[in-house]
Each structure stands twice: as structure tokens, then as C-alpha cells.
A and B are shown apart, each in its own frame.
Chain A
């Protein structure tokens, strides 16, 4: 037996050995892996890029935690969404739509191979569609999925999709990054159910996953057998850097070639990097509209004149410019005009006019009693609550600006910062006076936006209750998705969007844009037209 002193020693030794061995274990594994990776990943013709989160599993049919840009590097759609909302052939060379708008016949490209060497053909398209349809609930947010009646292989390179009813956005929705992109045979699990995971990421896209270390980095290399134009860059390294300031510092040190995205670095950081003149920078076309949604169910906001008065009553140009340092642009329309069917929107532009705002409020019966600062009607003060996402500094500053601007009109605005989830919940439950919202952007709009407006439980349908033409609007929205006549569709959209805006419950505030900063040796950087896609098409490095 050990005596007490030796026992103590033994105990202490064991603890120390345990701690040290854990430390050494950690160090040795890390360093071996690192040496390996450093030797194989570094390449002259490589772009290093930072992203806040790990790229995820790279399953084309699943959402979180897979990152959209990474999925879009590996997997391709049948149809691609291009600038101005133009829909171009990608894996489908062409397509035919039946008179009644229910049958879609896709003629597939014949020169496409998956990275496992297998052919891209109608069989594999059907297999992918069937895997997606096995989990319809998961994907029902995407309109055409729940309308699919049948998927058929007509011949090796012809695929037919039959819908239960006519739904024009089908082609546009085929361009989204997930879930309708195509996994090669070798990627499918035994039971074919991709919702639980895939064997390996096998796509047809221009990039292949080369190396991956969870939570640290991923290296994509060029797919040398790619059917389309080969990227000029050999490799793309994605470093996972969760913190925005660290991304800026890493970029300044030269560890990163490109910083890209929405809100990936602070506005001040972007401006500061831009001002040094040592880097290239660009701002994209509008990707979405930041909107202010007013709940017409609330008594104060049920009168269209009050809503219009509030719109007239703040200096939008100055607010957007001031709060976003010019990274966003003042918005005149509820959807950006570079989306399909939105280019000739017909709605009155509202310019800053305090006098007009006051006059409208007077007309609506909200008068300013003598000796008071807040307007009243039947003894009730004109008090409104604006809800914003407390984590979003832009929303917060805009809310504060509106509060001070509207005080001048005699309107008391209470601003309430809430968490994003609460914001969404309260919006859906119609428990708000005023809220910030932004639409999904390309390639989802305009049909997704009008659909959200018309669907119960999203907040909008209830919010526009006081619209005199609500029923007509809802009918038009139902009709626009089904119409097969292009001109009629355009007319309907012009009317719907125009009317939604004229009634003043949805106030366009600013157009949200993406930013990019890159080192001087990076050239041909372009923003993807599809908001979710990667930006590496065409990018190159000057040696």
C-alpha cells in the first residue's frame, strides 16, 4: 500500500500527466494536419476569401448549415438567372412549355459529366427531383415544388415536368441555389434519401471540393473537365473567419484576396479600406429593398392619408445617405427595378415635403392641440410603435432618425429593439404598428414577394387589411402566377406593385447592395445576378 504522501504524489502526477497529454495530443494532431495542408493548398493562381461560417455539408438538397455560395460552386441548375432577370439555359439547353402552362419539357445538354465521371442525363435529373419530392414539406416554400404532379424521363436527354396547375415562375425558381440542383450518382446514399445526408459532394459545376477542415477552411479546385468556360483561377480557398473586424485585419495583412457579401464588414471598415486607395472595391446593383411596413389594422395607420403623410415626412435621401454612407441607395419603389416585370413600375415618387405631410395629417383629422407637441384625434394622441432588429445597426439608426423627423410632424414614434426571431414572430402574428422588412431578392422576386403579401401568416396580408381594394389585389396576385400570357402578366405586376405602394402601407426606404473589396492584383470581379451565387465566375489574378 502507498503511504498518504505517496498517494498524494501519485494523484498529482496523474492529473498533470492527463493535462499535459491532452495538450500535446492537441498540438501534435493540429501540426501534422497543418503541415500537410500547407504543402498542398498553396498555389500562385489561388484566391483566398473569407466567410463567417463553415461551408457545411455541401448537400445540394438541404439548407442550413450548408452555405449557398459554396453549394453554387459545385452544383448547377437547369436554368440560370442573369442580369436584369434574364433566364438563360444552363444544364438545360432549351425548354418548351405547353399551352396550358402545366407541362415543361427540358432538352438537356449532352456534353455534361459529373465529377465522378458519370453522365448528366434525364435519369439523374429525375432521381434528383424524386429525392427532393420525397421531402416536399421541407421544400414547399418554393412555390413550384408542391405543384409538381409528375417527373418523367422522355429519352436520355429529355426530361418532362408536369404540374398540377399552371405556375409561370417555375423556370425562374429552377434557378435558385437549393434545392433543385443536381447531385451525381456517387453522391447518393444507399436509400436515396438525401435529406439525411449524402455520400460525397459530386456536382457538374466549375469547382470541386479539394480539401476541407471543419470550422477552419475549405479549398476548391477548378473542375478541369468542366463543360463550360473554365475558370482562370486554379483554386479558391475559403477561410472561416467569424468576426468582421478580424476579416478586415486579415485582408489588410494580405491574407485575403477578396472580401465579399452583404454586411460582411462594417460600413466604416469598407469606407476606410476604400479611402486608402490601395485596394479595388465595388458595390453591386440593388439586391433587395429595405421597406417600412405599416399595419393598417391599427387605428392610427388605417387612414391612407396618415401613411402617406409619414412617407412625405422624412428626408429619405439624407437618411439613407447618412446611415449607410452611400452603400445603400434611396428607394423609390417597393422592389428594385432590375428584377423581372419591375422595370416599368407605375407609382408616384414621394419626395420629402413636410408641409404636405402636415396638411395630410390635418385632413385626416389629426390636429395639433394648442400648447402640445403631439397631434390628437378624438382625444387620442398620434402615437406609433416601430419595431426593429436590435442586432442591426442600420435599422436602429434609421428608427432613431424617423423618430426625430416625425416628432417635427407631431407624431410620437416609440422605437423598440427586438431580437430577429421576435421581430419575425410579432410580424407574423400581426402584433406590430410598424416594422422593417426586406424582400428576398433575385431570383425569388417579384413573385415570392407578392406571394408573401397574399399568404396568411406572413404579416403582410393582415397588415394591408384596410386597403380598399384588398380583395381585388389578392385576386390579381393569384392570377399573375397562373397566367401564361406574358403581356397580361406584366400588366398585372404593374398594377399589383403600383397599388401596394400607392396605398402607402409598404414604404420603400433603400435598395440594399452587396460590397466587395479586393487586392489590386485581383481583376474581373463581378457580382452574381443571383443573390445567393458565388462571385468567382470570370475572376482572375494578375501575376
Chain B
């Protein structure tokens, strides 16, 4: 078990290295000249000498390989460089906005789980019932409405018309509701369907039949056995989406003026603030890797078959 966890953690290292290489490569392939971008962001009319000097300062006149190794060493020390626009360290810029984004992510994840688990589960065990139809409707809506539009609709109805929630900003739990629900909506659609399909599949499994013949109460079979196994694909989905949520809240953050790092990223793109873009991409990659690791560990705990299989190989 612990060797499995260790192995799992070690596999992260080469993947992360590959990510840094890809990020570095892509940034180098883009037509943006960091020196020019630097002066453009500061609104300075740069002469050729000034550009040369900046390129030297950024180390852009060195061979690509050396540049990459230098960048890698810095990344390992959480040094992503200095933002061209604010002249502050990128890590400081990102980490100061991290709490807001984490808050939003957790809020929407909680809502997504609280809504989709009961609906998906009930829709699965009561196929073609009212709740099943409702879950189908919810899924279609959730999968097809773009989140920025949903955000505007929520603001218009619940904030401007009904005055239940604030339009924008942070502070109280009320501020968190609308952006979280907006962000959670497509997830609800996805998880409900995933869980429903998985429950239906598990109901056909022989362990359910066996449990029934043993005379175990239906509620226990459903709650303790079926749900526990059926929820597994949903947790995988969660893992895939955790990284997505953290980094994909860009639009929702803009619509609700949420001060997370998604907005920082948008500004960085418009200003061609290369260090911030690079830092953000690496952070996103890191988050994906870590969230997938967490999911794997949770899976290990929930589905005993996985750890049993692991033990066989040891």
C-alpha cells in the first residue's frame, strides 16, 4: 500500500518535468518577444539598445537548453519571475489570489456533490421515474448553458430582480452562492449522469444478487454496497475537474468580479505578461497532478478491490 502511494508520487516527477518542458517550449515558440512585451506593458518606447539590454537581463541571449535549466531551477524554488506589469514576483501575485479561488472551487464542488449524489443515485435506482426524468432535464440544461450566460441570468434574477444576493464582490457567504452555483452547474449535469449510469450498471452485478439472497436489507445493499462502488467513476471525474475548476473559473471570476487568479491570467494574456502566463500554466499542471493523486488515494480507500490488486503485485 505505502509502496503504491510512493510509486504514485514518484510518477508525478517526470510528468511535471515534461510539463515544464512543454510550457517552456510553447512560450518560446510564440511570436511574443518578452523584452518587447516588457516595455509595451510599461508603456515605454524602447530603443534597440534597450531591447538588447533587457534580453540580456532576461537571459534570452543564452542557448535554449541553458535557459530551460535556469528556469527549472527557479521554478523549483517557487520563483516564477517578476510580472512585467506589476513588477512584483509572480508567485506573490498568484498566491495572494489563491484563497479566493480555492474558496470558490470548494464552494462549487460542495454544491455539485450535495446536489448530484442524491439525484444521480435516486435516478439510478428508480429508473424512468419522475426523479430520473428530472435528472435528465437537469443534465441537458447544465451541459448546454454556457457559464457566463448562466452567471448573467443568475445575477439578473436573484440579484437585480429579487435582491437576494449581491451582484459582485466577496465577503459573506451570500457573495459565494451565485458564483459557486454557476460554476457547479455543468458539474452537476455531468456527475448526475455518471452516477446514474454507474448505479444502473452495479445493480446488474452478482454481488447485489448475492446480498439479496443473503437477506440483507435493501437499504443497506444500496447505501453501503452499491453507492460505495458506484460512486467511484464520479470521484475520478471529480479529480479531473478539481484542476479544471481551480483554473477554469476564469469566466465566472470575471462575471462575478471574484478576485481570484483567473482574472490575473486574463489580464496577463492581454498584457502579454509572459512570466504570469507561464506561472499560471505550471500551476494548473501542478494542480491537475495533485488532484489526480488525491483522487487515486481516495479511490484506494473506497474501493477495496484496488488495494487488493496492488497487494497481489507486491
The chain A residues found within 8 Å of chain B, CB to CB, are: 4, 7-9, 11-12, 15, 19, 22-23, 25-27, 29-31, 33-34, 37-38, 53, 63-65, 137-138, 140-141, 196-197, 214-217, 239-243, 245-246, 249-250, 252-253, 255, 421, 424
Contacts and interface: CB of A to CB of B under 8 A. Distances in A.
Contacts of A250: 167-168
26 contacts: A4-B1, A7-B1, A11-B5, A12-B297, A15-B297, A15-B298, A19-B106, A22-B106, A23-B106, A26-B106, A30-B171, A37-B171, A63-B42, A64-B43, A64-B271, A137-B50, A141-B43, A196-B87, A214-B259, A216-B259, A241-B257, A246-B155, A246-B167, A250-B168, A253-B159, A255-B166
Contacts of B213: none
A30 B100 CA distance: 9
Contacts of A63: 42-43
B301 A11 contact: yes
B201 interface: no
A65 B86 contact: yes
Contacts of A245: 152, 255
Nearest to A11: B297
Contacts of A140: 45
B169 interface: yes
B290 to A, nearest CB: 11
B19 interface: no
A91 B44 CA distance: 27
A239 B166 CA distance: 13
B255 A243 contact: yes
Contacts of A214: 96, 259
B44 A216 contact: no
B271 to A, nearest CB: 8
Given A7-B2, A246-B256, A27 B43 contact: no
B173 interface: yes
Nearest to B41: A64
A249 B2 CA distance: 53
Nearest to B176: A27
Interface of A is mostly: helix
Specify which of A19, A239, A240, A243 lies most central, judged by the most chain B CB atoms within 10 Å of its CB: A243
B204 interface: no
A11 to B, nearest CB: 6
Interface in B43-101: 43-45, 50, 85-87, 96-97, 99-100
Interface in B136-179: 152, 155-156, 159-160, 163, 166-173
Contact of B44 (A23, A141, A217, A246): A141
B203 interface: no
B300 interface: yes
A26 B98 CA distance: 9
Contacts, number: 123
Interface in B233-280: 254-257, 259, 263, 266-267, 271-272
A246 B32 CA distance: 32
A53 B266 CA distance: 12
A253 B167 contact: yes
B307 interface: yes
Given A217-B169, A241-B168, A8 B300 contact: yes
B152 A253 contact: no
Nearest to A3: B1
Nearest to B104: A26
A23 B256 contact: no
B128 interface: no
B11 to A, nearest CB: 18
Specify which of A29, A34, A38, A216 lies most central, judged by the most chain B CB atoms within 10 Å of its CB: A216
Contacts of A424: 40
Contacts of A23: 102-103, 106-107
Nearest to B109: A19
Nearest to B264: A215
Nearest to B159: A253
A137 B45 CA distance: 8
A215 B169 CA distance: 10
A26 B45 contact: no
A26 B40 contact: no
B26 interface: no
B22 interface: no
B103 A243 contact: no
B211 interface: no
A383 to B, nearest CB: 26
Given A27-B173, A29-B99, A217-B169, 11 more contacts: A8-B300, A22-B106, A23-B107, A30-B170, A37-B171, A53-B267, A216-B169, A239-B169, A241-B257, A246-B257, A249-B160
Given A26-B99, A240-B257, A31 B167 contact: no
Interface in B179-193: none
B89 to A, nearest CB: 13
B298 A12 contact: yes
A377 to B, nearest CB: 35
Given A253-B167, A255-B167, A138 B263 contact: no
Contacts of A9: 301
B294 interface: yes
A250 B226 CA distance: 47
10 nearest A-B residue pairs (beta carbon): A34-B171, A215-B259, A26-B103, A250-B167, A26-B99, A23-B106, A8-B301, A253-B160, A63-B43, A241-B257
A249 B155 contact: yes
Specify which of A12, A64, A424 lies most central, judged by the most chain B CB atoms within 10 Å of its CB: A64
A215 B44 CA distance: 25
A15 B263 CA distance: 28
Nearest to B266: A242
A253 B298 contact: no
Contact of B263 (A11, A19, A242, A252): A242
Contacts of B298: 12, 15
A215 B297 contact: no
B2 A239 contact: no
Given A26-B100, A53-B267, A249 B301 contact: no
A197 to B, nearest CB: 8
